[in-house]
Amino acid sequence: MPSNLNLDYYYGTEADQYSFYRIPKTLLTDPRYKKAKVLYGLLLDRMSLSVKNNWMDIEKRIYIYFTLENVMCMMDCGHDKAVRLFAELDSTGLIERVKQGQGRPTRIYVKNFILPPLPAPALLAVASSASFASPQAAKLTRCAAPALPTANASLVCGGAPVGPRAG
């Protein structure tokens, strides 16, 4: 692939013509979520199709079908990585997979991603764990559960002020 594709600019309302996958901000800032954020966004998108098809269980919970092959194709990855991504979502509780047997695809229940905020001691414990040794992860951890800003306060992330300056 060439390094510069010489692409054209967007003009006028052209920027509104595309559909996008949505990834909740919480997944990007909360240290409890690791690498499968894009896959979760794809699964959330697939839920709209399930709603249209009225795919609900007897408890009225929406489910989707999304195979390993779907993941491998849409995320341009191999089988092992697709398995790891599904396992991460499963282990964090973002999805629940229910096998149906007899060659039928697995039902996937995409769960609500909103978690209660980490208490301050737990946030510090997560920040100092070995799995967050990189500077980027440490910065995300500091940003994960900021205090709500007041009208005269600015939000601080990673030691740098963010938002309107006081004074």
Structure confidence at residue 70 as a pLDDT band (50, 70, 90): very high
Q: How many whole angstroms separate alpha carbon 86 and alpha carbon 91?
A: 9
Structure confidence at residue 167 as a pLDDT band (50, 70, 90): very low
Asked if 119 and 110 count as a contact pair (C-beta separation under 8 A), the reply is no
* Global confidence as pTM: 0.63
Asked if 96 and 109 count as a contact pair (C-beta separation under 8 A), the reply is yes
Q: pLDDT at position 78, please?
A: 97
pLDDT digits (tens, 9 = 90+) for 80-93: 999 999 999 999 89
Q: pLDDT at position 135, please?
A: 46
Q: How many whole angstroms separate alpha carbon 137 and alpha carbon 130?
A: 11
Q: H helices within 64-147, ranges in order? A: 68-74, 79-92, 120-128, 135-144
What does the pLDDT average to over 14-25? 79
> At CA 83, angle to CA 131 and CA 140, rounded to 5?
30
Structure confidence at residue 15 as a pLDDT band (50, 70, 90): low
Class of domain 25-110: mainly alpha
- Is pLDDT of 158 > 60? no
pLDDT digits (tens, 9 = 90+) for 98-153: 999 898 999 999 998 776 666 666 555 555 554 444 444 444 444 443 333 333 33
Structure confidence at residue 21 as a pLDDT band (50, 70, 90): confident
Domain positions in the chain are 25-110, 120-162
Per the prediction, the chain carries an average pLDDT of 75
